[in-house]
A = this chain, B = another copy of it.
């Protein structure tokens, strides 16, 4: 970390700052140039309060040289991480499609959808049991019963299952879930993140609506620093001024995350766009840009879905999208 001082600082102020930094445990390296005086901080600066330092009278600006995350940082872990989700590998050239309904509604619904998405080539089954809904008057999910239904569909089809957790207290219910999802609205629910350090299974961490790529990596760091290294990152659209789509899908985030981190990155085009007709083109683009996986909402009867029917594909439409995804992958990447 570099602390840039205001022009021509009083020597007494510089000395006071240096001794204050030393008291806090940082070694310092003062460099006096013709134009500016700079203090380099040596050692682990991940807990430094940059805003505070910047507010000191003698300080002009503060510049981090190293990122504030370590476990998630590719600099310290150059190989791609490959995560095993109930026997299915993702990352490092292993590409997977996760599909299923927004909400778990009934045994029949989930089993039917699970069979059709498996037949079309999906390798993991998603479905919401606990549902975060903006309105308290909307359907809130089947909760425990929803997880049971997913497990039955897993038993019948062999597809590992993915479902969302909304509160640390529910963790015991997720013992047989293969991949635990943290939703966009909980990306900075730090108590939940910390608790997942002890989950003993992989986590699918979705980017918050208004969170930067660095904040997404800091939230991954929370879980990793708490003991769980198996994180899959998910881009699902950010909030911008544009209202033609529900969110703005930030596809560039995929190569940026791959450069900064070794963790796998998937894309959720259904939530990003909010409209079923946009799922095909954005899924194909996600595959082309190098995502390690795609998560797509599929429903056997979208107009009767209890949530987000507007963005769900039918099984037939999903099979078409799978064909396009495979064509692009074949043209661009050697499949593992």
Residues of A within 8 A of B (CB): 2, 4, 20, 29, 31, 33-36, 38, 40-42, 46-47, 49, 51-52, 54-56, 60-61, 63, 65, 68-69, 132-139, 166-169, 185-186, 188-192, 194, 208-210, 212-215, 218, 221-222, 225-226, 238-246, 248-256, 259, 272-278, 281-282, 284-290, 302-303, 305, 307-311, 324, 327-328, 330-332
A281/B274 contact (C-beta < 8 A), A52-B308, A166-B190 known: no
Do A4 and B63 touch (CB < 8 A)?
yes
Instruction: Look across to chain B and name the residue whose beta carbon is closest to the beta carbon of A168.
Output: B167
Instruction: Look across to chain B and name the residue whose beta carbon is closest to the beta carbon of A326.
Output: B331
A34/B38 contact (C-beta < 8 A), A135-B218, A238-B240, A303-B56 known: no
* Residue numbers in B under 8 Å from A252 (CB-CB): 245, 248-249, 272-273, 278, 281-282
Q: Of B239, B240, B241, B254, which is within 8 A of A281 by CB? A: B254
Instruction: Look across to chain B and name the residue whose beta carbon is closest to the beta carbon of A184.
Output: B188
Instruction: Look across to chain B and name the residue whose beta carbon is closest to the beta carbon of A24.
Output: B304
Return 20 A-B CB contacts under 8 Å, by A number.
A29-B33, A29-B35, A35-B40, A35-B41, A47-B137, A49-B138, A134-B218, A136-B225, A137-B225, A167-B168, A212-B243, A214-B244, A240-B248, A244-B253, A249-B250, A255-B281, A281-B290, A324-B332, A327-B331, A327-B332
Tally of this chain's copies: 4
Do B35 and A33 touch (CB < 8 A)?
no
Q: How far is the CB of A141 from chain B (nearest CB, A)?
A: 10
* Residue numbers in B under 8 Å from A135 (CB-CB): 46-47, 68-69, 218, 221
Q: Of B35, B210, B240, B324, which is within 8 A of A42 by CB? A: B35
Instruction: Look across to chain B and name the residue whose beta carbon is closest to the beta carbon of A63.
Output: B63
Q: Of B46, B281, B310, which is within 8 A of A289 by CB? A: B281
Do A212 and B189 touch (CB < 8 A)?
no
* Residue numbers in B under 8 Å from A290 (CB-CB): 281
A168 to B49, CA, bound (A): 28
A137/B46 contact (C-beta < 8 A), A167-B168, A287-B288 known: yes
* Residue numbers in B under 8 Å from A239 (CB-CB): 210, 241
Instruction: Look across to chain B and name the residue whose beta carbon is closest to the beta carbon of A187.
Output: B185
Do B240 and A256 touch (CB < 8 A)?
no
Do B49 and A307 touch (CB < 8 A)?
yes
A250 to B218, CA, bound (A): 25
Do B65 and A36 touch (CB < 8 A)?
yes
* Residue numbers in B under 8 Å from A221 (CB-CB): 135-136
Do A167 and B188 touch (CB < 8 A)?
no
* Residue numbers in B under 8 Å from A222 (CB-CB): 136
Do A139 and B47 touch (CB < 8 A)?
yes
A221 to B138, CA, bound (A): 12
Instruction: Look across to chain B and name the residue whose beta carbon is closest to the beta carbon of A55.
Output: B310
Do B309 and A55 touch (CB < 8 A)?
yes
* Residue numbers in B under 8 Å from A273 (CB-CB): 252
Q: Of B34, B56, B251, B331, which is within 8 A of A330 by CB? A: B331
